[in-house]
Structure 1
C-alpha cells in the first residue's frame, strides 16, 4: 500500500504516511486539502483475506462515530468507496489527534505513579460512562494501551486521555453477534464466548492499568482462577490494588456493573464503598430481614458486627462454659443446703441455708453476668497477610482478643437449619452461625475481600 503515499483520494485527501496496519486494513495520516488540517483515513480492502465480518465491523465503526460527540473520541468526518490497484475498498475519515498511545509511553521508558493512574482511570471511565449510557449503549470491546492516547503529560498532571479505534465496537441492538474481537490479555472471559456488556469494557480498563503499573501485558503475568496476579509487580496502595482487582474480576457478576459505579471510589477517595445495615444486606432478597449481622467494608478494613448468640471462638466458648458451671454450682448447692439444714439442724439449719442462698446468689450474679450483646470482628490488610481483631461490646468493660493472622475460611452445616462460617487463625478460631442466606452472603463478601477461597466441609449441601 506504499504506492498510495502522496496520492490524493476522493479528490480531497492527500496521503502523507502509513501509521497503522492490520490484516485487510491500513491506516494513513493524510491532509484534508479543503481545510488544510491533518486527518486519519482507515481503509478496508476487498483482498484475499477479506471477510464479511470485516465489512460489518467497518460499517459499524463508521455508523457509531457518526452518532458520537465527545472531546475524548475522534470525530467522524467522511466515508466513501474507492478503487485501488488491489481492488475495491472502503474509506473512513476521522479527526487526527496528535498524541502517543499509552503503550508508546511505556515503551519509551515512562512510568506512571498511582496518582497518575487514578487520573487516567477516571478519564477513561468518564468516556465509558458517556458511551454506555447512550441509547443503545455503545461497548468498545478493545480497550488496551495501544488504543488509548495520552498528550500534554506534565509533572502536575497525567495529561489528556483519548479513546480511539472503534473497529470492534458493538451496541446492545447488535448483541446477537457471535463475532469474537478484542485483544488477548485485555479481554474478559465472557468476551471469548462472543458476549460483551458494559462491565466487559471495565475489565479492559483494569487490565490497561495493570500494564501501566507493571510494564507487562496482563497475558504475561500469572493467574489464579483467571484472576490476574499483578500485586507483587506493582507499587500501589492496597485500596487501589483491590479496586483494580474489582474491575478485573473474572466473574462478570462480581465486577462493577457500570462505569458510574466504578467511578464512585475514585471520586470519594476510596472511602467506604459498601455499607450494609441490618435492613440493607437483605433488601435485595439475599436473606432474613430480621438479621442483626452487619458488615462494613473498605478496601483496607472489613468489619462484621455479630450478635452474641451468633458468634463464638475457642476462648469465648471456654469463658461461657465457666460461667455456666459456676451458675449451676450455686443453684445445686442451695437445694442441697436446704435439705441438709432442715434435716439435721432445724431452724438453725434453715437460717444457715438462707445465708448460703444469699452467698450463692451473689456468686451467680457475678459469674452469670449477661453475655456481651455483640462482637465486632475486624479484618485488616497488613502487608501480604490479613489480621483478625475481636472486641466484645459490654457496658462496663470490653473483652479484646488481640490480632491474629487469618489462615483459612471454612463454611458448612452447623446444625440444620443453621449454617456456620469459621475463620481459622494462627492460634484460635472464630465462627458465625446463621441461616443459609446469612452465611452465603458473608461467604461471598469474605471471598471477594480477602481473595481466599472458602473451604467447605464434606457434609455441606450448598456452595457459593
Structure 2
C-alpha cells in the first residue's frame, strides 16, 4: 500500500488545504481538501513518481486528467486543476476535481440497506443515461471500472460516477498484480482480462453492480451456469428485469446489448426486448459469403483530396471543400443568374396586375428566390464547407461543417445497420440519380456529397463495408 503523501492541514500549491483521506490504492491517494481560493470542497488525487513502479501508471493518471477536463455532465465530478510539484527525491502529480458528497453504493449495501427492484432499476436508468453521454462522444469514452465503489449516491438520490482512469485500482482487487489492465475482479468483463475494453464492457460492469445491489454479494461469489452468473437463482425479480440483466452480463461481448442507448430503451420499455444483432450480423454474413465486400473494395484514388485514417477500432474520412473549382463557380453563376432574373423580370411587375395574378406571380417569385438561395448556399458550401464520415466499433456518424461549425449530423448504431450501398433514384422526368447511403431499417442516411467524386464514393463504400466485416 502506498505510504502517506500528505498530513491533515498540509497546504498544496499555496491553495488547497488537506482535510482527510478519502481513499487509497496501490499507486495513488485521494484526499478531501478545501480550495482556499474559491472556498469550496474538492477532491485531490495524488500520485508519487517515486512510488510508481511503471510509467503506465503515470500515463493512466494523465489520461484521467485529460478525460475529465473534456467532460461536462452533472453526474461526473467537474475538473478543476492538474499540476505537479518537484521535491528533492520525488515528483508528485495532482488531479483536483469537484468533491462529490454522498455515499458509494458499496457503502450503502455494507450498511445493510436493501433496495427494491424499482429502486435498482432507477439507479440503472441513471447510470445508463450517463453511459449514453460517454459512449456517444467522439471518440467514445469507456470508463472501464464501473463498480459500486465508483458510484456515489448524493443526498438528493442522484448517482455520480467517479475515478476516471482507475489508477488507484490497477493493482488492488485485480487478479494479476503485475499487469496493467484496468478493472476490478467480479465487475470486470471477460474481455478486459485480455486487455480489451469497449462500451459493452461498461454495460457488463453496470450489470454486475446491479447484481451486487440485489444480492449483497460480490458477483464473483454468485452461482454460475455455464460460465455465466445465474441471475434467476439468486434474485427475486420480475422475469423481464431478469432477462435484461442476463443480457447485460453476457460473457461474450456480441451477446450483450449493442449500446447503452438500446439497453436504456429496452429497460424503459421504449424498445422491443427481443432486439438482437441478428439483422446486422446476417447482413454482414451475407455480404461475406457472396463475395460482395471483396467486389466493393476499390483502390484509393490517386488524386483524392480526402484524408483517410483507419485502425482496427476506427475509420475516418475527412472531405475538404472543393475550393475554386469549376463546379463551385457553376453554383455561384446559377445563384447570380437566378437572382438577376428575379430582379429583372419578376419583381418589377409584381404590383402591376390584379390580385390573383399578384398572388400567382408572388408564389413564382418566392420559388425562384429559394432556388437562388439554394444555389448560393451550395456555392458557399463548395467553397469553404467540409464533410466528415466516421465509424467505430459501436456507431457511425455523418457530419457537415460550414465556417468550422457543424450544421448537420446523422448517426446511428452499427448493430442496427441493415444495408450499406447504392440506390438508383428516378425522378418524375425519367432522369436517374445515384445515392450512397446507410440504412437502419426504413431510415436512410446518405453519405454522398457534391464534394465527392463518384470514384471516391465507390472507394468509401468499399472501405465501410470491409471495416464492418472485420468488427
TM-score, scaled relative to structure 1:
0.55
* Partner residue, 2:166: 168
* Partner residue, 1:119: 122
* Partner residue, 2:59: 56
Which of 3, 26, 29 is the aligned partner of 1:23? 26
CA positional deviation for 1:78: 0.4
| Distance (Å, rounded) in 2 between the aligned partners of 1:85 and 1:281 | 59
1:298-322 per-position Cα deviation (integer Å, ceiling 9, x unaligned): xxxxxxxxxxxxxxxxxxxxxxxxx
CA positional deviation for 1:111: 1.1
Q: Identify the structure with the greater strand proportion.
A: 1
SS of corresponding position for 1:34: coil
* Partner residue, 1:172: none
* Partner residue, 2:111: 108
Gaps of 5+ in 1: 154-158, 170-177, 288-464
* Partner residue, 2:40: 37
Alignment map for 1:194-273 (pairs within 5 Å): 194-268=195-269, 272-273=273-274
SS of corresponding position for 1:39: strand
CA positional deviation for 1:265: 1.3
| Distance (Å, rounded) in 1 between the aligned partners of 2:276 and 2:54 | 50
- Is the CA contact 1:214–1:230 (under 8 Å) kept in the aligned structure 2? no
* Partner residue, 1:73: 76
| Distance (Å, rounded) in 1 between the aligned partners of 2:283 and 2:137 | 27
CA positional deviation for 1:274: 3.2
CA positional deviation for 1:273: 3.5
* Partner residue, 1:193: 194
SS of corresponding position for 1:165: coil
| Distance (Å, rounded) in 2 between the aligned partners of 1:41 and 1:89 | 12
- Is the CA contact 1:150–1:161 (under 8 Å) kept in the aligned structure 2? yes
CA positional deviation for 1:152: 3.1
CA positional deviation for 1:53: 0.9
- Is the CA contact 1:61–1:167 (under 8 Å) kept in the aligned structure 2? yes
1:49-106 per-position Cα deviation (integer Å, ceiling 9, x unaligned): 4311110100000000000000000111001112458722100000011010000000
Q: Tell me which of the two structures has the higher relative contact order, counting C-alpha pairs closer than 8 angstroms and 6 or more residues apart.
A: 2
Gaps of 5+ in 2: 168-178, 287-471
| Distance (Å, rounded) in 2 between the aligned partners of 1:276 and 1:104 | 37
CA positional deviation for 1:33: 0.2
* Partner residue, 1:143: 146
- Tell me if 1:88 matches 2:88: no
CA distance 1:48–1:81, shift in 2 (3 Å): closer
CA distance 1:86–1:160, shift in 2 (3 Å): farther
CA distance 1:199–1:3, shift in 2 (3 Å): closer
TM-score, scaled relative to structure 2:
0.55
- Tell me if 1:129 matches 2:128: no
CA positional deviation for 1:228: 1.1
| Distance (Å, rounded) in 1 between the aligned partners of 2:158 and 2:238 | 24
| Distance (Å, rounded) in 1 between the aligned partners of 2:219 and 2:189 | 11
| Distance (Å, rounded) in 2 between the aligned partners of 1:78 and 1:276 | 42
Q: CA RMSD in A?
A: 2.5
CA positional deviation for 1:285: 6.0
* Partner residue, 2:343: none
Higher-Rg structure is: 1
